[in-house]
Amino acid sequence: MVRHRETGKDFTRDRCLTFIILITFLLNLLKRSQQDELDEFFKLLSGNEIAIRVVSKSAFTQARKKLKAGAFVELNHVQIGYFYQSLCPQTWMGWRLLAVDGSTVQVPNTPENLAHFGAWHPAKGGPCPMARISQMFDVLNQLTLDAIIGPKSIGERELAAEHFAHLRSGDLVLLDRGYPAFWLFALVRRKNAHFCARMKVNGWKVTKRFVDSGLNEQIVSLQPGTTAKQDCGKRNLSANPITIRLIRVVLDDGEIEVLATSLLVTKTYPSSMFKELYHLRWPVEEQYKIFKMRIEIENFSGKSVLAVYQDFHAKVLTANLTAILARPAQEVVTQDSAEKKYLYRVNMTNALSKMKDTIVWLLHDLSLVPRMLISLWQLMIKTIEPIRPGRSFPRIMRVKFKKFPVSYKPTR
């Protein structure tokens, strides 16, 4: 607790909003107005039939100023560590399969947020405060290992480099075509991890020569240019040439895709498996759908920069906890559907819905945990959906996402 207080005096008095209570409240997937959420939260804790005013939204606003958002980041890393140590995580040929991807989110329109996060300037209307977010996601276990929110001006590669501080030997990183850079490859290899990245065909001379050659795969030496050497120097990385393997993948529509990987042993990793391997990164894209549409990560409970950071990391933590709690139910569902036409999976939208208020009791009263977990698992096992392999739909580029005006919060 001490590390995540703004001052040494914070959370030392006996108040309704203690350090633990405040964290629990913020983890409860807040979507409605502050006062409505507060009244219902304390109604839940007290067991009253009718909500009474225990804490005002003004008191909550003052209390949250004492809490650093890093508390949620550390809690997330702790629970991720527990998952890998105590459960049986899924792997791909022994590799922990990670994908890095970024997006942007709209934050409350205040001068403070405009100054901190930066702005998007639409064709109509004034500037819109916009933050950049990024995550390193375990695609097989559906967990966000590390999440970052920050100013829009920070590039996705720089955020990926921050994620890579958590890489370890035995990790295989899947990178979309916006990420490949010599220095980023060098950073992954310095961590004794490996990568599989989609390359821009016309963006790299080595990939263009490979496509023109007509070969299906080729081991080449990636030579750093002047800019790449400078980038490596800034980050204290080796600028020695990197040996990579280029693999040609022909998509269903005939488009040629080039993948670059540091997995060089062709007998162990034949080129035929890489199309499916790269496709395994898709769940990181789906996770942003969960973030934005299911848990409404842009629906912030406050207008300040601190509130944005707190809400973002709190919702990431709750989403991860839900995925971990769903693991036993998923094992039952997988076993039950083994002989059916399709394998089935737990419906995570429903699971996240059930975590609202349930997470409060799970963290507040340990005596209720066994009974509540059994009830939660039973619901998850009953609410499932089929996994239909090979399905593909065109991406709709002009989707209008729901906006969340701070002054017009919904009711329950």
Q: Which among 22, 43, 68 is the end of a domain?
A: 68
312 assigned to some structural domain: no
Domain match, 198 and 245 both = yes
98 assigned to some structural domain: yes
Residue 37 has pLDDT above 80, yes or no: yes
Domain match, 52 and 105 both = no
Nearest to 57 by CA among 406, 295, 393, 390: 406
Domain match, 59 and 109 both = no
Average pLDDT, the chain: 92
Domain match, 145 and 40 both = no
pLDDT tens, 296-311?
999 999 999 999 999 9
Domain match, 138 and 62 both = no
Range of the domain at 64: 1-68
Report which of residues 201 and 91 the model is more confident about: 91
Domain match, 120 and 157 both = yes
pLDDT given for residue 232 in this prediction: 96
CA distance 180 to 67: 37
pLDDT tens, 228-251?
999 999 999 999 999 999 999 998
Q: What is the pTM of this model?
A: 0.93
Find the length of the chain: 412
CA distance 337 to 341: 8
Q: What integer is the mean pLDDT of 371-397?
A: 83
Q: What are the E-state strand segments in 139-279?
A: 143-151, 171-175, 194-199, 217-222, 242-250, 256-261
Single-letter amino acid, residue 24: T
pLDDT given for residue 263 in this prediction: 97
Single-letter amino acid, residue 2: V
Q: Which among 42, 68, 94 is the end of a domain?
A: 68
CA distance 146 to 271: 30
